[in-house]
Structure 1
Amino acid sequence: MDLFSQSLLYLAIFYVYDFFGTFPLNLPPGKRGWPIIGESLEYIGAAKGSRPKKFIADRTAKYSPEVCQTSLLGENLAVFCGASGNKFLFSGQNSYITTWWPSSMKKVLAFPETLEKLNRDDSKKMRSFLQEFLKPEALQHYIPIMDSMARDHLDTEWAPREEVEVFPLAKNYTFALACRLFMNIKDLQIVSKFAKPFARIAPGLISVPISLPGTPFSKAVRGGKQIREELLAIIRQRNKELLEGKDDEARDFLSRLLLEVSDKIVGLLFASHDMTSTSITVVVNFLAQFPDVYQRVYEEQMEIAKSKGPDELLNWDDIQKMKYSWNVACDSMRLCPPAQGSFREAITDFTFAGYTIPKGWKTFWTVYSTHKNPKYFSDPERFDPSRFEGDGRAPFTYVPFGGGPRMCPGKEYARLELLVFIHNLVTRFKIEKAIPDEKIIYNPSLVPANGLLIRLQTHN
């Protein structure tokens, strides 16, 4: 064999070795698809369709119910499935895995000057602060504000109409509430101006990161840039007021953190714009679809309402009485979770279910490996709030907010927001789906095909 042929052979061996992994390692079963793009196009197609669990279900059925490999967004990826996989990842934060976001997401949501600072230490510090800021003792002071804003929203946007599209209205409400609580912005015109570019972000987050004009990714990047510009303008004004001593009572989230956590604020607002509005939408969907469930929620909420004065707002004790309403919300989010899962990165080689996950590989856990698995939930496609009575659920099977040390710090915020909204909705209106078989798609979060059109009728 001449030198040229030998060189070609070595290059071919090196390519195969690099692409398919280190031969001695027992990698998870699966395939990585095409070089560079991997299986990204298949994943995006499934995630944006009406059956987002199909991509994962097909692979777990073919390769392994515990863990399998693929390649997404230019990364080698291990997909963990089932309660054991969830437990393993949730308990491994900073031991063998750490936080990881695809570069496309960071380019859309983060300030360019903070990209290099998004390391695990920075994430840990920010998470510690969020947990303190969003803990129940702090959030209970926001319940009257949530209640007041829910009343105003239903008065102005729902009551004048016989039919409403729930999804866009829920987005308006949850985003306005987040602006009020996180940034102390009360002017709805400013909120509306701030919200418009957020609508361009979600469709581009899981798109192929091609910055050509008109692509979802390009639109998302432009939307993210516009949001940051608006946010910076508000920050500069707040900072000026603080320096001049004109805002002695500035204790809101934005004034306290300023530029240090500006990119995290974008993330919080995005979650409020998409995730919590999605949760409200799916709860309203099932309340409108199941009259018997609605009736039980109505009776529970009316008992609370009758114990209040005419203008008395909800408080922490009222929320604790909404047990059945929360069961309804839980099974709604089990069937239609607001998020599909989350990524991590291996910071060392580790083993799970007999397979080795190499350092540098990315991992992904998904709600669909447990939420609709008959192993964990009998008759999983059936809506049944009674599933959540007592403590009968197996650990790490119901994970709309993740779990372990990395459980979403906004879980309690979302619970309060959902229950306050449910209380005001059912005590004001009877509801009915105008399109009984309205389809649900994901883009990447849940989107009702017609905005979830419902008919309203006030109580006699």
Structure 2
Amino acid sequence: MEVIVLSLTVALVAVSLLLTIFAFTRRADGGVKLPPGSYGWPIMGETIEFLFGKPEHFVGERMRKYSPDIFKTDILGEKTAVICGPNGHKFLFSNEQKLFTAFRPHPMQMLFRSYKTKEQKQATGPSQMARNDEAKVIRSPGFLKPEALVRYLGKMDSMTQQQLQTYWEGKDTVKAFGLCKTITLTLACRFFLGIDNPERIARLVTNFDDVTLGMHSITFNFPGTIFYRANKAATAIRRELLAVIKEKKDAMASGAPMQDILSHMVVASDPTGQFMPEAEIADKMMGLLTAGYSTVATTMTLFMKYVGERPDIYNKILAEQREIAAAKKPGELLDWEDMNKMKYSWNVICEVMRFNPPLQGTFREALVDFTYAGYTIPKGWKVYWTVSTTNMNPQYFKNPEVFDPTRYQEGESHIPYTYVPFGGGPRMCPGKEYARLAVLAFVHNVVTKFKWDLLVPNEKIIGDMMPSPEKGLPIRLHAH
């Protein structure tokens, strides 16, 4: 009898404890119907699985386990709802600044110091006005609009030619990833900063690599960690950019024209007439350069990989690019009409971006409580948008593991919001057209100058948030 009483007592205590935990959890989450999912481990949540597992696996497994529409998790120190599929993409893009605002994860906030942390927001007020001002400064001069890019296109073409001539012509073997990074950063520095100094740019390449890796990392800031290297790199870049800003101000005081985004950021002021501090300008320019560097360099490199594996695709691109080159006079540079003729080449690039997205996704912050797919996402939660829910899904792309550029040819159609490499809505990547022109200028020059063989067949793609070839994509060049 005593054994039975003891067993019942233990059972009642256990049930009471479970009910207490459940009640606490309900109170902590506001007593609302949250999306299904798991917060993972205490403190760390599911950050390790998110950062060091393939994003499509992290997302795909949870979509299958919890819901194909939405699930909850805890990553990078934030309770997060992952909204999935084309309906999720549409919902997110349609509700920018209504339900969501941009959010930078803590590693980004710490690396790009002008992006305020939650504590800073509470002390100084929301940073949304600053973000809107930043976007206004970037967009208002029209640098990223097609009519402005037309004027820069010839320079983009000539600089790409110069880089290929300097680093590849006359060489038997090279590592493609290294040159793609140098070309991309050279173009970005010229376009955003107005500088064209090879030595200065060479010093920045490694630093930008470290910052890119650190943007999605665990913020352990001690020697040997990814974030420590990223923090040191960001300090070095910031120091270099502050020097560039001072030089820019001196040049403008001497009457130099405003021909780059940095010039306009230097003279931009808020409604009170206050100019942006130099340190903040440096941080914002570092963010722009990072965005315009890593994703474009990755796309160029993976183009070299996938086209190097497919001679049939290479031959079609070569025929298209030779036709464009044949119509040019000697020494004449690419123009807008030429870019619009590169239809098959762009289809190949689109498939590269589907196969290995240069950017996996971005975060938002919920401005208010809202409901999606029958679940409530509380105000202040983070929302993660990712291409991984559609890009490799056979429901939306037939035989998704096959590299097939014909998916994008005229007459083919896709379910809306299934292919969104540049995002969508008001926050669609403002550099989309810049990236398109930079990549196509590279494609034109590299294909008309060289054929290449991959020296490491089936080279592994590493880096989960920012993909890159494990060995740097060594290739053997054959000049035409």
TM-score normalised according to structure 1 size: 0.92
Aligned position for 2:404: 384
The 5 Å alignment of 1:44-443 reads 44-46=51-53, 51-111=54-114, 119-131=127-139, 132-243=142-253, 245=254, 247-258=255-266, 259=278, 261-390=281-410, 392-442=413-463
> In the aligned structure 1, how far is the partner of 2:41 from the partner of 2:55?
21
Shift of 1:280: 0.5
How far did 1:113 drift?
8.7
* Counterpart amino acid of residue 89 in structure 2: N
Q: How big is each residue's C-alpha offset from its partner over 1:177-217, in whole Å with a ceiling of 9 and x where there is no partner?
A: 11111111111011112333212212222221122222111
User: CA separation in 2, counterparts of 1:174 and 1:254?
Assistant: 18
Contact map agreement 2:116 2:127 (CA 8 A) in 1: no
How many Å apart are 1:224 and its aligned residue? 0.8
Indicate if the aligned counterparts of 2:370 and 2:378 stay in contact, CA closer than 8 A.
yes
Q: Once the 2 structures are TM-superposed, how far is the Cα of residue 266 of structure 1 from its aligned partner?
A: 0.6
Structure 2 gap ranges (5+): 1-12, 267-277
Q: Shift of the alpha carbon at 1:35?
A: 2.3
Letter in 2 for 1:98: T
In structure 2, what is the Cα distance between the partners aligned to 1:174 and 1:216? 23
Aligned CA distance change for structure 1 residues 112 and 354 (closer, same or farther; 3 Å): closer
In structure 2, what is the Cα distance between the partners aligned to 1:120 and 1:261? 17
Whole-Å Cα distance in 2 between the matches of residues 71 and 230 of structure 1? 36
Find the aligned partners of 1:270 and 1:126 in 2 and give their Cα distance: 16
Q: Number of aligned pairs? A: 446
Contact 2:181–2:294 (CA<8 Å) still a contact in 1? yes
What residue identity is the alignment partner of 2:331? D
Aligned counterparts of 2:188 and 2:348: Cα–Cα separation in 1: 23
Instruction: State the 1:41 CA deviation.
Output: 1.3
How many angstroms apart in 2 are the aligned matches of 1:112 and 1:430? 44
What is the alpha-carbon distance in structure 2 between the residues aligned to residue 111 and residue 359 of structure 1?
A: 23
The 8 Å contact of residues 37 and 74 in structure 1, kept in 2 or not, is answered as: yes
CA separation in 1, counterparts of 2:422 and 2:96?
15
Residues in 2 aligned to 1:290 and 1:196: alpha-carbon distance in whole angstroms:
31
Name the amino acid aligned to 1:103.
H
Mapped to 1, the partners of 2:352 and 2:363 lie a distance apart of 24
1:31 aligns with 2:38: yes
**Contact preservation (8 Å) 2:114, 2:284:** no
Shift, 1:139, TM fit: 0.9
Question: Partner of 1:371: helix, strand, or coil?
Answer: coil
Equivalents in 2 of 1:248, 1:366: separation in Å?
A: 42
Cα drift, residue 275 of structure 1 = 0.9
After superposition, what is the alpha-carbon deviation per residue over 1:72-100, rounded to whole angstroms, capped at 9, x for unaligned?
11111000110000111111111011100
Asked whether the 8 Å contact 1:110–1:266 carries over to 2, the reply is: no
- Matched residue, 1:448: 469
Give the Cα separation in 1 of the matches to 2:357 and 2:307: 16
Identity value in percent: 44
Contact 1:345/1:360, CA 8 A, preserved across alignment: yes
Instruction: Select between 219-228 and 247-256 the one with higher mean Cα deviation.
Output: 247-256
> CA shift at 1:443, angstroms?
5.1
Q: Give the drift of 1:256.
A: 2.1
How far is 1:26 from its partner? 1.3
What SS class does the counterpart of residue 133 from structure 1 fall into? coil
For 2:215 and 2:33, the matched residues in 1 are separated by 32
The verdict on how the C-alpha distance between 1:128 and 1:15 changes in structure 2, with shifts beyond 3 A counting, is farther
Inter-CA distance 74–407: structure 2 relative to 1 (3 Å threshold) = same
Q: CA deviation at 1:262?
A: 3.1
| Shift in CA distance, 56/41, structure 1 to aligned 2, threshold 3 Å | same
The CA RMSD over aligned residues, in Å, is: 2.3
- 1:326–1:419: 8 Å Cα contact kept in structure 2? yes
Describe the superposition over 1:391-422 as per-residue Cα deviations: whole angstroms up to 9, x where unpaired.
61221111111111111111111100011100
Question: What's the TM-score, normalizing by structure 2?
Answer: 0.88
Measured in 1, the distance between the counterparts of 2:294 and 2:27 equals 36
Distance verdict in 2 for CA 1:160–1:19, change over 3 Å: farther
Letter in 2 for 1:64: S
**For the residues of structure 2 that align with 1:126 and 1:330, how far apart are their CA atoms?**
29
The 1:18/1:161 distance shift into structure 2, 3 A limit, reads farther
Name the amino acid aligned to 1:161. Answer: K
- Residues 148-189 of structure 1 show CA distances to partners (whole Å, capped at 9, x for unaligned) of 011111111111211111111100110011111111111101
- 1:32 Cα deviation after fit: 0.4
Moved more, 250-259 or 201-210: 250-259
In the alignment, the residues of structure 1 paired with residue 169 and residue 152 of structure 2 have an alpha-carbon distance, to the nearest angstrom, of 24
Partners of 1:63 and 1:212 lie apart in 2 by: 37
Asked whether the 8 Å contact 2:137–2:264 carries over to 1, the reply is: no
Q: Secondary structure at the match of 2:390?
A: helix
Taking a change above 3 Å as real, the CA distance of residues 400 and 112 of structure 1, as seen in their structure-2 partners, is closer
The 1:431/1:90 distance shift into structure 2, 3 A limit, reads same
